[in-house]
Structure 1
Amino acid sequence: MEEDNQSLMELPKVNLEGVLARLPLQSLLVCCCVSKSLLNLIENDLDFAKEHFAISESQLMIHSPETTSFHLIDLDADATPGFGTRVEIKPNFNLPLHGFEVADSCNGLVLLESVDMVNGSHRCIVCNPVTGEYIMLPETKLLSRYATCALFYCPRTNQFKILRAFHQVFSLEGHDLGPGLDASLDSDPDLAVELDPSSDSDLDSDSASELNLFPDYDGNLDSGANTDDSSLSSDSDSDSDSSSIYSESDTMGELLVGGSDSWESLGNLPFSPLTIYSPCYLDKATHWLCVEESVQNLIVFFNFESHQFGEIPAPAHLGKTYINAYWLVALGGFLSIFDSFTTKEKFDIWVMKEYGSWTKDYVIDTTAWGAFHRDLFYKPAMCRRNGEVVMISEEGYILFYDLSKKNGRIIKHRRIDFPDRAVVHTPSIMSLRDAMRDSNMRVLNVASRFGRPELNPHSYLEFAGTFSE
């Protein structure tokens, strides 16, 4: 009888760690309140943190820059369709980093960026929202606009790398023009053009387009960075443009390796950050769909080990005209394309199991979603280990579709309003100080999340319905 009443703490250490490692993050944080020994194990044991992360599955994380909150959605929270009540989503994390937005997530770390379109500045932070720790990355020396970033982290070497693609801004007054630019302006005075819409310049819009002084795309593509100029006042825009010029030929790339105090130049990039979207990380490389006509293939990538860019041909029938109806997703360890344009009211899923060779492995009939199909724009977010595809809509609906059973369920979350950002994130309890062990960067701590789980989250999930083809 006494043996039946044994507490969790009486288990052998190896068994205890095995049980705890399989708990979701919310339950694990609650365990921190049980005893000091559990708190010490969960908060300070690096081996346990690595084991928990290896077992953990990716979740959806919604970042609201206006409230500086990270809202983690447990995708198993709605496992019982008949619950009929609201399910609170815990925990919420708060980092007082106003002006920063989520750019990317990788291996439990989140890359945040702050873009100042007026002054052409771009700042980046790497953080772990679970532990409340963050690192301010070195500022780039080049002025830039329309920057987009990708994050890579290698647990084996405790090293992270960040790719930064941007349009370099050439300042005509008050800023360092960058190496070699002074000489260029001296040799070609036509480069020194003031983009002041209020001036009496003889340069019309057609001529400006030929000189690539205006971007070819409106910046609304989901490339992982905020490229919307609408928040800037006309006066600020005029002041900025009147003292700077940029062109397609000035599309630059930089790489930051963890531990370095400066960015390494990658030179001119083969594509503009305004022409890539739907980032997908797979096999040590980040892939994007690319609409730039000068790029031959539909898919481009950057390999974080070789530091090389490359291209991948898409299925022959896919073109760049309707690329906003395609999405890149990692499916079963392979690169896949979700195509919602070719076959109306269906998602055709093309999978590349061999380089350049695509097969249409799945078709999702969206008409089976009933009322949730009409007038709702769904974007594929991720594929889970159990074979479910997760899609999200701006209206706040999260859809789960089982590829093998051809059925699914829909849950309701609060509306995702711009600049809110939903990203795939695997939570990690590993301290950023451990993750950056060989880095000379200073780790800052906002507030520990351990032992203080958030019990009053402002958001919730509601069961919306099921469907079957």
Structure 2
Amino acid sequence: MEESIIDIVPPESLMESLARAPIKTFFTSRSVCKAFVNLTSVSRRGKPFCNLTSFKPEFIALHSAYATQILGLQFGDSNMLNCVDPEVDVDPQFVGNFRLKPMFRMPDFISPRTYSRDKNKSLLVNSCNGLVYFVRRRAEDERSFVCNPVTNEYLLIPDVDHDPEPRFLSSVVQTKSMWLGYSPGSDQYKVLRLFSHSYGDPLDMGAEVLVVGTDSWKLIGKPPLGREISWDCCSTTLNGVLYWLDQTCKDIFFFDFDKEIFGEIALPSEYGDELLSKIEFMSIGVLGGCLSLSFNVHDAPHVDIWVMENLGNQESWSKKYIVDAVSPSGMPLYGQFRPLQVLRSGEILMLWTNNDLVCYNRRNKSLRYAGFHWLQTNPRAIGFTPSLISLKDALSVNEVRHTERPW
């Protein structure tokens, strides 16, 4: 068999080139080049067929500082996950032709009754290592699933335990929030569930964890007491740890999926009571591999973006960026700015109050709209690096399901 040029290129060079490629270019190449398909495909054991067998079986882009991260967007209660490639779709040369690209169609379920007026739809929660997590929140079964939108596979998570603690046997337990996370130590994906007594103190909460691929939930230690948790609190994951920020706290709280313990990180010491009273203008994320915190200072107006350069060290908070929160027309922009990533152009990509994508140019200190404000529909948004690893291999399970392709 004649040797392909791809077979003689060093794996490290291939990995770096693929990591830099826009997602559209990546899939176009798979459509026209058989050698490229073999290179980027995965066997039953989770190993690539060709040159990249020496690397851990995760999508190669995850190992590169230049990895292409895409955005997943769900508008309202739509059953479609759309995608945006920030490096291409928000470029000033192309943004005039900005179009949402359908990526994953959510499976249909029989609809049991809900506990509230919320429509019984699967809503986007978070992502982890290229896998995406959806929950049909406040439904009787609170059905949830993990999917890989690239391979079009999904796995149902077992129904939640409505009687996780004996003291709750005579009443209703209400789920406060659920997240997907990854434990590097055990190489397992887990789901964290926080719950409370529906008719008691809403701050008296419990927690349980399920290893994805198993059938049983396990009770763990209590979350930080005296804190309010909701489905819509701002959260992010980094190095096997989930971080979240709610509306009543003065700290960032976290859950370590390896150790299965809770903890908290203090905000920058510059934050006084006056700023903390406006916590609805704060947001957290990950920038440059560091935990980041943004705050919209209304009196200025500008957005301060802090990064924790040494994770867990309060003294390592550093004010990395100051963004002039002024629209192209000169109007101040209020509300929450969620940092998503620093683009290769150097621009900072942010989600503004779930209304639009905005880019901040640090050179000329200007802000521009970059996305979908014309849709007049607030989306749920996540950033993730696509993975070609099959769900069977990623989750170490025997069976997964497929859903209808959206194209």
Query: Shorter-chain TM-score: which interval?
Result: 0.7 to 0.9
- The one of 1, 5, 13 equivalent to 1:11 is 5
Q: Where do residues 323-402 of structure 1 align in structure 2 (5 Å cutoff)?
A: 323-341=279-297, 343-354=299-310, 355-357=313-315, 358-367=317-326, 369-371=327-329, 373-374=331-332, 377=335, 379-384=337-342, 386=344, 387-393=346-352, 396-402=355-361
CA contact (8 A) 1:95 1:132 kept: no
SS in 2 for 1:337: strand
Asked if 1:145 corresponds to 2:174, the answer is yes
Rounded Cα–Cα distance in structure 1 between residues aligned with 2:127 and 2:228: 22
Structure 2 gaps of 5+ residues are 53-57, 110-120, 163-171
Question: 1:161 is matched with which residue: 190, 202, 207?
Answer: 190
Deviations for 1:375-416, whole angstroms, at most 9, x for unmatched residues?
Answer: 664522412264432122468532112446644543232536
Q: In 2, Cα distance between the equivalents of 1:85 and 1:352? A: 35
Which residue of structure 2 aligns with residue 254 of structure 1? 208
Cα distance change of structure 1 residues 13 and 275 upon mapping to structure 2, 3 Å threshold: closer
Instruction: Give the TM-score, by structure 2 length.
Output: 0.76
Contact 2:343 2:349 in 1 (8 A): no
Alpha-carbon distance between aligned partners in 2 of 1:281 and 1:274, rounded to the nearest angstrom: 17
C-alpha separation between the residues in 2 aligned to 1:274 and 1:21? 35
Superposed CA deviations along residues 288-342 of structure 1, whole A, max 9, x for unmatched, are: 22444xx6x4221111122111122212334442110111122333323211136
Question: Which structure carries more relative contact order (alpha carbon 8 Å, separation 6+)?
Answer: 1
Tell me which of 70, 95, 109 is aligned to 2:131.
109
Q: Tell me the percent identity.
A: 27
446, 450, 455: which is aligned to 2:403?
A: 446
Q: Flag the 1:373–1:389 CA change in 2: closer, same or farther, 3 A.
A: farther
Give the drift of 1:111.
0.8
Q: Deviations over 1:137-177 (max 9, x none)?
A: 111222532521222125785410121112244xxxxxxxx
Cα distance in 2 for residues equivalent to 1:251 and 1:79: 41
Alpha-carbon deviations, 1:177-224, whole Å to 9, x = none? xxxxxxxxxxxxxxxxxxxxxxxxxxxxxxxxxxxxxxxxxxxxxxxx
Consecutive unaligned residues of structure 1, counting only runs of 5 or more, are: 1-8, 170-244, 455-469
2-side partners of 1:35 and 1:301: how far apart? 44
Equivalent of residue 300 in structure 1, options 220, 231, 253: 253
Structure 2 equivalent of residue 268 of structure 1: 222
- 1:427 aligns to 2:381 (yes or no): no
Q: Pick one of 94, 117, 131 that aligns with 2:105.
A: 94
- Aligned residues of 1:301 and 1:309 also touching (Cα < 8 A): yes
CA contact (8 A) 1:77 1:87 kept: no
- 1:82 to 1:350, Cα distance in 2 relative to 1, 3 A: closer
**Match for residue 58 of structure 1?**
69
Task: Identify if the C-alpha distance between structure 1 residues 33 and 51 changes in structure 2 by more than 3 Å, giving closer, same or farther.
Answer: same
- Aligned residue number for residue 178 of structure 1: none
Q: Do the aligned residues in 2 keep the contact of 1:20 with 1:28 (CA within 8 Å)?
A: yes
Q: Please give the secondary structure, in 1, of the residue aligned with 2:40.
A: helix
Cα distance in 2 for residues equivalent to 1:323 and 1:390: 21
Question: Could you tell me how far 1:255 is from its partner in structure 2?
Answer: 0.8
TM-score by length of 1: 0.67
Once the 2 structures are TM-superposed, how far is the Cα of residue 356 of structure 1 from its aligned partner? 1.2
Letter in 1 for 2:295: D
Does 2:160 correspond to 1:131? no
Asked if the contact 2:351–2:357 (Cα under 8 Å) also holds between the matched residues in 1, the reply is: yes
Separation (CA, whole Å) in 2 of partners of 1:14 and 1:163: 44
Aligned to 2:166: none
CA drift of 1:128 comes to 0.6
The residue type equivalent to 1:145 in the other structure is Q
Answering whether residue 375 of structure 2 is matched by residue 415 of structure 1, we say yes
Which residue of structure 2 aligns with residue 461 of structure 1? none
Q: Distance in 2 between matches of 1:266 and 1:108?
A: 26
Q: How far did 1:365 drift?
A: 1.6
Give the letter aligned to residue 151 of structure 2: T
- Asked whether the equivalents of residues 146 and 166 of structure 1 are also in contact (C-alpha less than 8 Å), the reply is yes
3-state SS of 1:77 partner? helix
Highest Rg: 1 or 2?
A: 1
